[in-house]
Each structure stands twice: as structure tokens, then as C-alpha cells.
Chain A
Amino acid sequence: MIQVIADSLSLGSVYVLFALGLSLSWSVLNLLNLAYGAQFMLGAYFAYVIGSHVDWPLLVVLPAVMLIVAATSVVTDVLVFRRLRTMAGTPVESELSMLVASIGLAAVAVTLVQHQTQGESKFVPRSVFQVKTLSFGDKLHLTNMQLIMLIVTVLLTIALAVAVKWTRFGRAMRGVAVDPATCELLGVNSNRLFSTTIAISGALAGLAGVLLAIHLNYVDSTMGDPLLTKAFAIIIIGGVGSILGAAVGGYLLAFAEVVIVAYGPANYRDAIAFVVILVVLLLRPSGLFARQRWERA
């Protein structure tokens, strides 16, 4: 049982760490960024590339990769998303075009990496980080990376939640999502704010990419896609707009999945996430934790 809890915490950290950046961009910017999975993958990929050429440790590779992926976010925002926001007639149009554009961008990134790797899967070299197992007796086995992920996830969640809710920057972000026109009148440069937020989201994607690639011992051009759907699930469970909600949702979903493998029909594990999305959206669309119930026209 204790191993089940440990696995849930580990899996939950995987999901939540991945979902944080997506939650930020969705809840704050109304941007359902389907290229997020590709950005995550880029984080993993660059960790592999850098690690294969130089002997830098994790503490150096990590910020380097985060910077690179954040840069991709800013570039795509300035070149693509900004224009789409300006052109769109209604919020729905804007969201739809950004959604579709993000799909196209994801395809570009994934294909490039696929070509570079010849479709083979790679891994982050041990010179960047050496995974070691810590055993507590016979019943509990955990790796150092799993612990790191857990700690990083919890810290980041709290930091983000606090930032979004209580700092001026956070308030500005949320304001821009609801009514950019008024914010502009109040002196907020909404375009710059958008870019900054999406850069943070990208940096988080990169962070998740590096850590997960080390934990899973796996780098592949398609590694972002399966996680993307889990991320949707937990953001919806927790409620869009609530970072804490997404975190709680993530650990809950992980727990459900681990339990079903440990005690039940393991084959249906993946169906859980989707069914959860459907059920929550149908019964309680604002999620478990959303403080406000948006009825957006």
C-alpha cells in the first residue's frame, strides 16, 4: 500500500509538473495551446542534445533548456498568436484560430525532431543526471529523481498559485484574459503581458520536459501527446482558473490510475482520464475548485 501511495505521488508529480504551464496559459490567456506537448518534447530533446555534446550537469542544462523553450513561445506568440488575436471577431474565433494554429505549430516541431532523431528514441545521458534508487526496506523503492519531481512540483504549484492570485502581475494577467480593452485603458500592455505569460508557460514546459525525460529515461518526438490528454483531464477536474485545483486533480487522477493497475482491470487505465473529462464537463463544468463560474458567451 505504501508503494501505491509513493507511485501515486510520483505519477501525480509527472502529470502536474507537465500540466502547470498548460494550466497557466489556458486559465490566464484562454489559450488552449496544443503545441504545449511539442514544447515539452523540445525540452526533453534539447536536454538530450546538450547532454550529448557537453558535460554540463542538470543545474546548468535545466535553465538553458527552459530559456530555449521560452524563446520558442515568445517567437510563436509574436509571429502568430498576436496577429490572430487582433484579427478575430469574437473571443470564440480567437480561441479557435489559436487552437488550430497551435496544432500546425506542433506538427512542425514534432516533424523536425523526428527527422533529426531518425524516428529513433533517445535518452538524456547520465552525465546530466544519474538516477539512483533509494530503498526503504523491502516495501518502498523511490528514485532520487522522483523525489526531486515531487518537491519541484509542490513548490512550483504554490509559487504559481500565489503569483497568479496575489501579485500585481497575476492580477494583470487575469484582467487581460477577461477584458483586454479595459486593461489597455488602464495602462496595461496586454500584448507584452501575453508574451510574458506564454514565455513562462514555455519555460515550465521545458522544465517538465527535462525532468521527465530523465525520470522516464526516454526522449522521443511523440512523447508529448499522451501527456497532453492527461493534462486536459486534470485541468478540467480542478477547474480552469485554479492552479491549486489542477494540482489536486493531478494527484487524484494519478491515484485512481495507480489503484486500478494495482487492484483492478489494468487495461482500462487510460480510459479513466477521458471518462473523467467527460463526466466532469457534463456534470460540473467549472470543476471541483473553481471559485468563479464563468458563463462565457
Chain B
Amino acid sequence: MFQYFSDNEVLIQQTLVYVLLAISLQVVLRCGVVSLASIGFYTLGSYASAILVKHDWPPVLILPLVVLASGLVGYGFGKPLARLRGLYLAMATLAFDLVIPVLLINGGDLTGGALGIYAIPLAITTGSLFVIVVVVILAVSQIERGWMGRASLALRSDENLARSMGVRVTRERYLAFAISAALGGLAGALSAMLFRAVSPGNGGFALITLGLTMAIVGGRDSWVGAVIGAYLVTWVPEWLRFVGPYRALVFGLVLVVVILFFPDGLLGAVRRLFARSRRKPAPATRSEREAVPV
């Protein structure tokens, strides 16, 4: 059992980091905010952490710093992006995510250019990583169970309705941005400490696809979905090694199938199977939508 643990330690670490990334996307998607910005913060966080670790800063200083900085910037983004909806917001955050690698490649000695930063001393243990992830999950669940949870459900269905119910829409959006950014930055910072190298290629479109896959395939509605998504994304390539070059194809198909037949993700499918009573109302069908006066 320990043999398995140490042989697969890198994969386990990968899964844990990805859980954080998936949650960072879920937090905004649950509010109906289509922001992909946490990916960009992941890349920034990983570089910040890489640079600081190489300057002998301890993780106990680096991590809170990255979380705070990402959260503040995320909150700051909230204001100008607040007016954007749906695809426009997705676009803007996509652009943000894609411009960062370009800037990093041109960062000269500070960012290591195209090669990135490598030979970063190992700064954190798998055990600490696990603890951090657990803490984050607890924190996020608490926030969601409370006022923000109800607010985000309302936000997702109908913003105007939510506003009329007294939900402070704008503040919720800023908070969602902030938390998403903070978690993205944290995940990135941890990844640098564990995998000990960062390069501009780590971010960008591939990571966006990965993040969305995790958040959606697992199930958008709860951190359990994030864990499922992260686990699948990390381990299925191992199982599918025989599939070889067709891996991306299988992933793409899975994504399409899940979106088509399990809109609540695998977690939602499992829940439906057990037909437990759920807080979330079933997605409105077309006739229901038409019945509500617009």
C-alpha cells in the first residue's frame, strides 16, 4: 500500500492540485459567471511561487501571499468585468489567460523565457498538500452552505429575479471572482513547489480545456464533483495508455457525451440514480421557461 503511494506520488499530487483548480472554476460557474480567469492566476501563481522559492522564501510565507494577491486582483477584476455577461466574459477571461504565457515568454531572466524556471527545490510535502486541499474544501463548502450558496443558485437561474429578491448581485460576482482567482493562484503556487519546474507552455488553452473538463465532467455543483473530475483527468490517461495517441480524442468524446447526457456531471448522474432530495431545482425545460414572464 505504501509502495503504491510512493510509486504514484506524483499522480496523487497532481490530482490534489487539480482539485483546487477545478474548484476554482466551479465557484464561478455555479454563480452563472462564465469566468475562466482562474487558469491565468494558476500560471501567475506558479511563476510567483517558483521565483520566491528559488529566493529561499518559505512556503508558509509564499502561499498566503499568493492567495491574498490573487484574491485582491480577482476582486479588482470584478469591477470592470462586472458588466460583461456570458460569452463576453468568457472571451475576456480567455484573453487574459492567453496573454499571460506571451508575457512570460518575454520576461527575460526573471521568468526564464521559453524554457521557464526549473530545478526549483522541493518545498512542500504531499501530506501538507492534502491538508491544504481539505481546508479549502471545508472553507468553500461553508461559504456555499451559507448565504452565498443560496445567492449563487438564484444568480445562476435569473439575475434580475435574484436582484429583486434582495441578493446583492454585484457583490456576489466580485466575491466569486476573488475566490476563484485566489484558488487558482494557490493551485499554481503549489504546483510549482511540487513539480519543481514551470514553463509558459503549462498554461494556455490546454489547461483551460483541462480545467473545464474537470469542473464539468465531475459535476459542477459540489466539491465532490471537482474531486471526481480531477481524479478522472489525472488517472484515466494512465488506464488509457493503450489508447495511446487517441487520448485527446477519447477525452473530447467523453466531454461531449457528458455535456449531452449528464449536464450535472457524473456526480449529478450518481445523485439522480439515488434520487436523493436535492437543494437544486431541476433544470427548467423549455415550456417552463416560456411560462415565466420575461
Contacts and interface: CB of A to CB of B under 8 A. Distances in A.
Bound together: yes
Interface of A: 26, 30, 32, 80, 83-84, 86-93, 95-97, 99-101, 103-108, 110-112, 114-115, 181, 225, 229, 232-233, 236, 240, 267-268, 270-271, 274-275, 277-278, 281-282, 285, 295-297
Nearest to A112: B249
13 contacts: A30-B86, A30-B87, A80-B256, A84-B260, A89-B284, A90-B32, A93-B283, A96-B34, A101-B259, A114-B245, A115-B246, A274-B96, A278-B96
Contacts of A268: 102, 106
Contact of B85 (A99, A103, A104, A296): A296
B121 interface: no
B91 A104 contact: no
A232 B99 CA distance: 13
Which label, helix, strand, loop or mixed, suits the secondary structure of the B interface? helix
A32 B92 CA distance: 13
B156 interface: yes
Interface string B222-254: 000000000000000000000001111101111
Contacts of B259: 84, 97, 100-101, 104
A95 B91 CA distance: 12
Interface residues on B, range: 35 or more
Interface centre among A80, A107, A297 (most CB of B within 10 A): A107
B212 A103 contact: yes
Contacts of B91: 32, 232, 236, 277, 281
Contact of B290 (A80, A181, A282): A181
Q: Which A-B residue pairs are the 4 nearest by beta carbons?
A: A107-B252, A104-B255, A274-B99, A277-B95
B144 interface: no
A107 B209 contact: yes
Interface of B: 29, 32, 34, 80-81, 83-88, 90-92, 94-96, 98-99, 102-103, 106, 156-160, 205, 209, 212, 216, 245-249, 251-256, 259-260, 263, 283-284, 286, 289-290
A95 B32 CA distance: 11
A240 B246 CA distance: 36
Contacts of A296: 85-86
Given A108-B252, A110-B248, A111-B246, A101 B260 contact: yes
Given A83-B260, A181-B290, A111 B87 contact: no
A232 B251 contact: no
A100 B245 contact: no
Given A32-B91, A96-B29, A103-B255, 7 more contacts: A91-B86, A93-B283, A97-B263, A103-B212, A104-B252, A110-B248, A274-B102
B79 to A, nearest CB: 10
A43 B93 CA distance: 29
Contacts of A30: 86-87
Nearest to A107: B252
A271 B103 contact: yes
A87 B255 contact: no
A80 B247 CA distance: 21
Contact of A26 (B83, B87, B94): B87
B283 A278 contact: no
Given A95-B86, A232-B94, A268-B106, A90 B158 contact: yes
A86 B290 CA distance: 12
A87 B91 CA distance: 23
Contacts of B29: 96
B251 A107 contact: yes
A73 to B, nearest CB: 15
A112 B245 CA distance: 9
Contacts of A91: 86
B201 to A, nearest CB: 13
Nearest to A235: B91
